[in-house]
């Protein structure tokens, strides 16, 4: 059982993706997620209310860094803290920058990300050591851990980890207001000529309704809604490794 302790309180602030074709990736993000794209050094910065994504030249399917932010700067003291996980992903904790207010007909708040990893047990232990809390584990019939969902606040997961043969970025997710808005986002993707790669479905762990599209590098971009809200003392759950766990409504992407 998870100890009844407060979560970190940090939420996902931005992700810096690497790509061998940064212009094409940034242009796709701009189109798919209805963001404003602008040059930022040797890369691109895509922004909209509640979501910021950076794109830098580099090895595709990897992140340059991931930033989580505290609304209370006293939570991290002075400056930012940095940690490198067992797969080499740089995780930064910082104070939240003041954001410009903005209203959108279709809101989408950057909410979680996921990695694939051949070092799943080490990765889970690392993220627990820096304050993440396990919400749910997925195990196969032999008891081998296949996936893990960890949170930093009341929302079911800020990070998902999947066992796979290679270490790589898996997906990012933006949370919208409700199921109706998920459908509206799906309609928007269709109007932009972007096919849905997976969904619409409902995840088991997290219970969120979702769909995903695939970007030019093969990363998955998700829109979701109604993610589970967890009490601090919620015990960690265990799910069976099967398609129904990842999509209660139908087929799933099985990373291993």
Give the C-alpha separation, 134 to 232, whole Å: 11
Give the C-alpha separation, 88 to 140, whole Å: 26
**Percent of the chain, pLDDT > 70?**
93
Give the C-alpha separation, 76 to 139, whole Å: 34
In angstroms, the Cα distances linking 140 to 4, 96, 137, 188, 245 are: 27, 39, 10, 37, 11
DSSP letter string over 130-181?
A: TT-EEEEEEE-TT--EEEEEEESSSBS-SEEEEE-SS-EEEEEEEE-SSHHH
- What region does 18 belong to: left with phi over 0, alpha with psi -120 to 50, or beta? beta
Instruction: Identify the pLDDT of residue 161.
Output: 98
Q: In a 3-state reduction of DSSP, which class is residue 239?
A: strand
How many domains, in total, are found in the chain?
A: 1
Count other Cβ atoms within 10 Å, centred on residue 250: 12
Instruction: Identify the pLDDT of residue 17.
Output: 98
Q: Which tens digits make up the pLDDT trace of 215-224?
A: 999 999 999 9
Beta bridge mates, 116: 162, 168
- Confidence class of residue 97 from pLDDT cuts 50, 70 and 90? confident
**Percent of the chain, pLDDT > 90?**
89
- Confidence class of residue 72 from pLDDT cuts 50, 70 and 90? confident
Q: Is the pLDDT of residue 53 over 50?
A: yes
CATH at 70 = 3.10.180.10
Instruction: Identify the pLDDT of residue 82.
Output: 95
Instruction: Identify the pLDDT of residue 4.
Output: 54
Q: Is the pLDDT of residue 79 over 60?
A: no
Give the C-alpha separation, 17 to 46, whole Å: 11
Write the burial class of residue 191 (CB in 10 Å: 0-12 exposed, 13-18 middle, 19+ buried). Answer: exposed
Least Cα distance to 84 among 123, 133, 31, 54 occurs for 123
Residue 4 lies in a domain: no
Instruction: Identify the pLDDT of residue 6.
Output: 73
Residue 3 lies in a domain: no
Residue 46 lies in a domain: yes
Instruction: Identify the pLDDT of residue 140.
Output: 97
Structure tokens at 188: 């928007």
- Confidence class of residue 249 from pLDDT cuts 50, 70 and 90? very high
- pTM value is 0.95
Give the C-alpha separation, 82 to 52, whole Å: 19
Instruction: Identify the pLDDT of residue 182.
Output: 98
Residue 24 lies in a domain: yes
Instruction: Identify the pLDDT of residue 2.
Output: 44
Residue 102 lies in a domain: no
Q: What is the mean pLDDT of the chain?
A: 94
Residue 112 lies in a domain: yes
Q: Which tens digits make up the pLDDT trace of 4-50?
A: 557 899 999 999 999 999 999 999 999 999 999 999 999 999 999 99
Q: Is the pLDDT of residue 116 over 60?
A: yes
Give the C-alpha separation, 30 to 35, whole Å: 5
Give the C-alpha separation, 235 to 103, whole Å: 36
- Mean pLDDT on 170-180: 98
Give the C-alpha separation, 255 to 146, whole Å: 9
Decide if 160 contacts 148 (C-beta within 8 A).
Answer: yes
- Confidence class of residue 99 from pLDDT cuts 50, 70 and 90? low
Structure tokens at 164: 């796979």
Q: Is the pLDDT of residue 239 over 60?
A: yes
- Confidence class of residue 89 from pLDDT cuts 50, 70 and 90? very high
Residue 192 lies in a domain: yes
Residue 163 lies in a domain: yes
Range of the domain at 213: 11-97+107-246
């Amino acid at each position: 059982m998870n100890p009844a302790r407060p979560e970190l309180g940090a939420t996902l602030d931005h992700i810096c993706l690497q790509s061998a074709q940064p212009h094409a990736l940034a242009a796709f993000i701009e189109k798919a997620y209805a963001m404003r794209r602008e040059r930022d050094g040797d890369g691109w910065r895509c922004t909209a209310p509640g979501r910021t994504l950076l794109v830098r030249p580099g090895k595709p399917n990897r992140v340059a860094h991931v930033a989580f932010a505290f609304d209370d700067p006293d939570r991290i003291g002075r400056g930012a803290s940095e940690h490198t996980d067992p797969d080499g992903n740089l995780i930064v904790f910082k104070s939240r920058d003041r954001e410009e207010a903005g209203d959108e007909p279709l809101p989408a708040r950057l909410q979680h990300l996921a990695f694939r990893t051949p070092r799943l047990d080490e990765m889970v232990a690392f993220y627990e050591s820096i304050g993440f809390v396990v919400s749910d584990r997925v195990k196969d019939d032999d008891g081998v851990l296949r996936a893990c969902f960890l949170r930093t606040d009341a929302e079911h997961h800020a990070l998902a980890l999947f066992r796979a043969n290679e270490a790589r970025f898996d997906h990012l997710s933006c949370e919208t207001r409700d199921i109706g808005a998920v459908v509206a986002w799906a309609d928007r993707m269709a109007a932009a000529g972007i096919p849905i790669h997976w969904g619409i479905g409902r995840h088991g762990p997290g219970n969120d309704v979702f769909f995903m599209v695939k970007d030019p590098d093969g990363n998955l971009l998700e829109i979701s809604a109604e993610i589970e809200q967890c009490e601090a003392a919620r015990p960690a759950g265990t799910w069976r490794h099967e398609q129904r766990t990842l999509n209660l409504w139908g087929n799933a992407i099985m990373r291993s």
